[in-house]
Amino acid sequence: MLKPLIMSLFDHLYWVNARLLEAADELPSAAFTAPDPATVRDLRATLVHELDVEWSWRLNLQGRLTEDIADLRPEDFPDVETIRDRWRLDEAEMRAWLEPMTDDDLVAEVDSGLSGDRRPLWRYLMHIVLHAAQQQSDAATLLTLVGRSPGELGYGEFLHATG
């Protein structure tokens, strides 16, 4: 039962990401990088930060994160399309990693080099999903403030939209 839950939460995460990027598509570049006191980062930095967390935590949990892998930098993503391309790649890699997992894999304890803790894998996956919810909320706020609301992003809306 745990596997379908985790997969559904990641499906929702990627659905929201796509909605945010679609809403950001028509933004002028000044709005894409404009600081705003409502959140910690500008829109581009918020999206890149979330992409970085999804990517680096996956590598970490796969035992592939090394010290020579640097954080993703907003300035390396000049536009929405560049972020979208990288996110599509990361989503495919995340799904390929998650898909063969069983409930036994998800409850197995793993070491995290990022947190230094040993916990069941599903808890780290929940960290990725719940961190995304915070960053996605920030991005939605920034988009709404410039007249580009992505609309409702809740899990219920996701279920309604995707069947």
| pLDDT per residue of the chain (163 residues) written in tens, 0 to 9 | 899 999 999 999 999 999 999 999 989 989 999 988 888 899 999 999 999 999 999 999 998 877 778 899 999 999 999 999 999 999 999 999 999 999 999 999 998 877 788 999 999 999 999 999 999 999 999 999 999 999 999 999 999 999 8
Confidence (pLDDT) at 70: 85
DSSP labels, 87-129 = HHHHHHHHHHHHTT--HHHHHSEEE-TTT--EEEHHHHHHHHH
On the CB side of 136, CA atoms within 13 Å amount to: 23
Domains in the chain (CATH in brackets) are: 2-162 (1.20.120.450)
Model confidence, pTM: 0.95
Backbone dihedral angles phi then psi of residue 86, each to the nearest 5 degrees: -70, -40
Confidence (pLDDT) at 45: 97
Confidence (pLDDT) at 66: 78
Q: Facing residues of 118 across strands?
A: 111
Measure the CA–CA gap between 136 and 124, rounded to whole angstroms: 18
- Measured between its terminal Cα atoms, the distance across the chain in Å is 19
Confidence (pLDDT) at 117: 87
Confidence (pLDDT) at 134: 98
Confidence (pLDDT) at 25: 95
DSSP code of residue 119: E
Closest among 140, 150, 135, 158 to 53, alpha carbons compared: 135
